[in-house]
Amino acid sequence: MYDTGYCTVCTWPGLLPSDLCRCFVAVYLHQVFISRISYIRPVVEQSTVNNSILRAEYQLVALPLSRCLGVKDRIRIRAPSVPKLEAFYKQHNRQPSQSEVVALVKQCGLSQRKIQTWFRHRRNQDRPSNSKKFCEASACDRFMLMFVSVPQTPWLWDHRECWRGYPKQPVAQEHYWYYILELGFYWSLLLCVSVDVKRKDFKEQIIHHIATIFLIGFSYCANYVRVGTLVMLVHDSSDFLLESAKMFNYAGWRKTCDTLFVIFSLVFLVTRLVVFPGRVIHTTLVVSMDFFQPFFGYYFFNALLLVLQALHIFWAYLILRMVYKFVFLGKLIMYFNLI
């Protein structure tokens, strides 16, 4: 599909609702299938990666790099083998209530204190090690593709190029794969929420992941690929700094970590509160109307962008609050530990 740059389901330039729906479903399922098997974060306990490419990257690059930077894993006490407690842990609840603990006392013949200790050790046993979190943060395939595929495009500097010739705009192969990696990444985040640690902005993260998935899928179907790459570029330009700060945090390089966090904060505030609304949203809301009349995709796409902007303001507030604590109180609680 990406060789020709034109949709094989919809008939351009007519964007009929039925055609758009068929295109959306076809391309969406195609992308989800590819990305799900090629770039998804691991959820199986025994496996850190899901295919040979990621396994090689983990073993040959990420893990040796973590050791070189001095990443150390805490020694954790393993919970003793108690089949009934293990079955309850996997099938019912990882944090049993008081009444459930009393029931388990009768079943296992152990004291309440021993059962509570067992569950605490068992939960700690399942928490990812620093090495594993370091390797996960070092997965930067989409960031490298971002730097290769987007800066050389004419619409990065002249946003009117996003719409000139629309809807018949060829899709370059590197932009196609940029979409694949981004969609796979956000699908993996959404699918892993049940096993990830719930942070303070859990609900906002869910909204963000769902809105982003719809944005990526719909922008590809409606051939908003040019402006879509700008949206992803704005987001990834600060995300890779946060991932780098995480890596140095796990390695114990506090000064480097703090410096990267400050740089991340500045880039985040500029890109999300200035560039995104002032350039990207202005392009989709105002500039696009010079080239075509508004249709369903115009309203749907811009509504999702405004949802993201509301989330950007919320996260900017959290970041500014942490920067305030760092500057005036002399302490910095890392963004990725606080939320």
CATH number of domain containing 90: 1.10.10
Tell me, yes or no, whether 323 lies in a domain: yes
Give the sign of the dihedral formed by CA 59, CA 61, CA 64, CA 67.
negative
- pLDDT score of 226: 92
**pLDDT the model gives residue 197:** 60
pLDDT value for 333: 52
Q: Range of 91's domain? A: 83-126
Collect the ranges in the chain with pLDDT lower than 50: 1-51, 334-335, 337-339
Query: Is the distance from CB of 152 to CB of 217 less than 8 angstroms?
Result: no
| Cα maximum dimension of the chain | 75
Assigned domain for 132 exists: no
Q: In this structure, are 102 and 233 located in the same domain?
A: no
Tokens encoding 264:
């991340």
Q: Are residues 181 and 268 in the same domain?
A: yes
Query: Residue 241: what pLDDT?
Result: 84
In whole angstroms, what is the distance from residue 128 CA to residue 120 CA? 15
Q: What is the reported pLDDT for 112? A: 84
Q: Give the list of residues 6+ apart from residue 162 with CB closer than 8 angstroms, or none.
A: 155, 226, 227, 230, 283, 287, 288
State the Cα–Cα distance between residues 271 and 236, nearest whole angstrom: 10
> Which pLDDT value is given to residue 33?
37
Q: Which two tokens stand for residue 245?
A: 């700060």
pLDDT on residue 189: 81
**Contact between residue 67 and residue 250 where contact means Cβ atoms under 8 Å apart:** no
